[in-house]
Amino acid sequence: MIWSRTAVSDALLCGTFGLSMLLQWRCYVKPRQNSWVYGWIILGFSILTKGPVAVVLMMFSLFLFGLFQNDFSRLRSHIKPGYGLLVAMIISMPWFIIEYILEGNKFLKSFFGYHNFQRYTSIVNSHQEGIFFFVLMLIIASLPFTPLLILGIIQGTKEIKRNFLKQTLQPSNSLLVFSISWLLSVFIFFTLSGTKLPSYWLPAIPAAAIIIGQAENFEINQGNNKSKLFNTCWWLSILFLFLIAIVFLLPVLIPNLSFLNKINDNEMNNLSTQLISSGILTRGGISLLVSGILGIVSKKSLKINLLSLQIPIIFFQLLAINPLFRLIDFNRQLPLREASKFITSSRKPNEAIAMVGIKKPSIHFYTNEVILYESNTNVNVINLSERLYLEKRIGWEGYQIGDPKASESLLILIDNATSKLSHWKLLDPEKLGRFGIYNVWRVDISRLQYIADKFKKENKLKSSWTEYDPERY
Q: How confident is the model at residue 94 (pLDDT cuts 50, 70, 90)?
A: very high
Report the pLDDT averaged over residues 54-69.
92
Distance of CA 224 to the CA centre of its chain: 39
Q: How confident is the model at residue 339 (pLDDT cuts 50, 70, 90)?
A: very high
Query: Helices marked H in 322-438 — which ranges?
Result: 322-332, 334-346, 362-367, 378-390, 416-419, 422-425
Report the pLDDT averaged over residues 446-452.
89
Q: What percent of the chain has pLDDT over 90?
A: 23
Q: For the segment 293-331, what is each residue's pLDDT rounded down to a tens digit?
A: 888 777 765 555 777 778 888 888 888 888 888 888 777
pLDDT at site 7 = 58
Top-confidence residue, 262 or 334: 334
Give me the long-range contacts of 346-352 (CB less than 8 A, separation at least 24).
346/411, 346/432, 346/440, 346/442, 347/411, 348/407, 348/409, 349/407, 350/399, 350/405, 350/406, 350/407, 351/407, 351/409, 351/410, 351/411, 352/388, 352/396, 352/398, 352/407, 352/410, 352/411
Top-confidence residue, 466 or 341: 341
Q: For the segment 347-367, what is each residue's pLDDT rounded down to a tens digit?
A: 888 888 899 998 888 898 899
Judged against a pLDDT cut of 60, whether residue 225 lies above it is answered with no
pLDDT at site 261 = 66
Lowest mean pLDDT among 25-29, 74-78, 397-401, 461-465: 397-401
pTM of the model: 0.82
Top-confidence residue, 253 or 41: 41
Q: How confident is the model at residue 274 (pLDDT cuts 50, 70, 90)?
A: confident
Can you tell me the distance from the alpha carbon of 46 to that of 48, in angstroms, rounded to the nearest whole number? 5
Can you tell me the distance from the alpha carbon of 339 to that of 435, in angstroms, rounded to the nearest whole number? 6
Report the pLDDT averaged over residues 80-86.
92
* DSSP conformational letter for 257: G
Lowest mean pLDDT among 142-146, 200-204, 458-462: 458-462
For 371, phi then psi, to 5°, come to -110, 135
